[in-house]
Structure 1
């Protein structure tokens, strides 16, 4: 393959062909006439043609130069278009599928508002929410467009953004025997509790905090999702420990009471992650900004929360 010529010659050639003179091209390119004359000499060697030849007191374009003129203009316009930053997205005209990965709590409190905003602002965007599992952040290189929730350690080519820090609440059936109680650590430890885990583990930071107080709790069952845990407590006298924002959403549509957990539990960092190739993509930027905006609106400082860690 022949080596490419110096592409910096292209704007100079365009100016020379349009101006039809060295002085005119030099003025347009803001260089001296002698510098433009040297550039013309280089262009003649590259093109294998004189391009501009003496004609009376001026210069005239050769037939080859006239033939090249529309090609040069098109090449220069194409190069400028390729290097120009993307135009702001006309979201109403965007047709895209975005694949998001989130746990069921995040999908429950974030999904409805995200879907509603997409319908209003970008009706051609279709959202595909996938459940969390034994996922790998490397999935963001191809299969997943956006991870939302508690983020693991990310590889070098994946961006991560923390949006908020959240905590957990306890839910119980609204007509249960302690639905209106203000729980103490002793009372909390004495009540049966449903925890959420994909692997059936029952020991967590809750048990660590109780052990410091000399207390233990009973976990008669675990649930694979936060939604399942809420259904479990509707038919029992147990508590379910769920993300705070999910607790509020669940209590809005189910007969549940929301109780504070009387322990000093750590909060969970909640964020989103995406591959670096989407950094400057306008539609993906809309998606990330919309998710961040919804989380900010929900995070009112009350300490209610979401995340993927299981208490």
Structure 2
């Protein structure tokens, strides 16, 4: 369907409101001759004279009188659609945010994020989904925010680096006797079996490569899908659970576990925030992203994680 020239709408509204070419020209800040030419175009488009001579002036035709409220409403809606959105009061926002991440991030950041939401946006509810196939396409429709590190992202997905973390070893507190708080040596670290968390059941990692460089080898007793499961297994087994630093500190406060630095040269693990471009200008989503930036910049919230700025 061929659309009419929508630039005619303001002129139509001015002509019908003013009832004269001169008055409409003043409103539109154009010359009377230019407005007269515009009226001629409108007559052709609408199929009606709109304004006709009446004594020394002009009067609206019946069709023009019918169009007057329609033109005013249409112009008002068009102007509203083209204005920037009004400021959003977060206290009035009612929104579910779907966040895809692992239980380690949920434990480290979840309570602080919920506390901020309760103060600033009480109508916000978090729906935390477990990591799965890490498909960025889910950000286009099903997932509002991904917290972790996606291996590759398409051009329509934004990523911000928030922090880095390292892995730690946690073990049942009395397990290693009087010297339990002493720093581990690589041989100590390899001596006990390990429990690792992997969504895909992978038992080998960079830890094995670093141990092999030292002529050492570890025994992976089990792989589990979550860091929480790894910690609870460590409570009842003679094994180290390998978990992220911030999670390790919180687990040790809640459970009878001791945290140890892993005595190997391990690369830091990136912790990113990823979302689809459709959310860039969304005020509520911007609040969520900014809140996470602030929380990950707080050393007390992150625990053993390092903010991206460090």
Work out the CA distance in 1 between the residues paired with 2:107 and 2:304. 18
Q: 1:72: how far off? A: 0.6
Aligned to 1:195: 196
1:29-44 aligned at under 5 Å gives the runs 29-44=28-43
SS at match of 1:126: strand
Work out the CA distance in 1 between the residues paired with 2:38 and 2:112. 60
CA deviation profile, 1:206-261 (whole Å, cap 9, x unmatched): 11122223332232232321111111222234222211111122122122222222
Aligned to 2:88: 89
SS at match of 1:175: helix
SS at match of 1:65: helix
Q: 1:266: how far off? A: 1.1
Work out the CA distance in 2 between the residues paired with 1:286 and 1:151. 22
SS at match of 1:291: helix
Aligned to 2:290: 289
Work out the CA distance in 2 between the residues paired with 1:304 and 1:172. 20
Q: Which moved more, 1:280-289 or 1:9-18?
A: 280-289
Work out the CA distance in 2 between the residues paired with 1:146 and 1:16. 50
Q: Which moved more, 1:9-18 or 1:89-98?
A: 89-98
- Is the 2:109–2:301 contact (alpha carbons within 8 Å) kept by the matching residues of 1? no
Q: 1:31: how far off? A: 2.6
CA deviation profile, 1:73-96 (whole Å, cap 9, x unmatched): 100111122233322323222222
Please give the TM-score of this superposition, normalised by the length of structure 2: 0.88
Aligned to 1:73: 72
Work out the CA distance in 2 between the residues paired with 1:58 and 1:71. 24
Aligned to 1:309: none
Q: 1:300: how far off? A: 8.0
Aligned to 1:254: 255
Work out the CA distance in 2 between the residues paired with 1:74 and 1:281. 27
Answer yes or no: is 1:102 the counterpart of 2:101: yes
CA deviation profile, 1:248-307 (whole Å, cap 9, x unmatched): 22122122222222222111121222233333222222222223322222488986369x
Aligned to 1:160: 159
Contiguous gaps of at least 5 residues in structure 1: 307-311
CA RMSD of aligned residues (A): 2.5
Aligned to 2:213: 212
Q: 1:101: how far off? A: 1.4
Aligned to 2:51: 52
- Is the 1:244–1:305 contact (alpha carbons within 8 Å) kept by the matching residues of 2? no
- Is the 1:172–1:239 contact (alpha carbons within 8 Å) kept by the matching residues of 2? yes
SS at match of 1:25: helix
Q: 1:39 to 1:139 in 2, by over 3 A?
A: same
- Is the 1:92–1:122 contact (alpha carbons within 8 Å) kept by the matching residues of 2? yes
SS at match of 2:174: coil
Aligned to 1:115: 114
Q: 1:156 to 1:298 in 2, by over 3 A?
A: same
Contiguous gaps of at least 5 residues in structure 2: none
- Is the 1:243–1:305 contact (alpha carbons within 8 Å) kept by the matching residues of 2? no
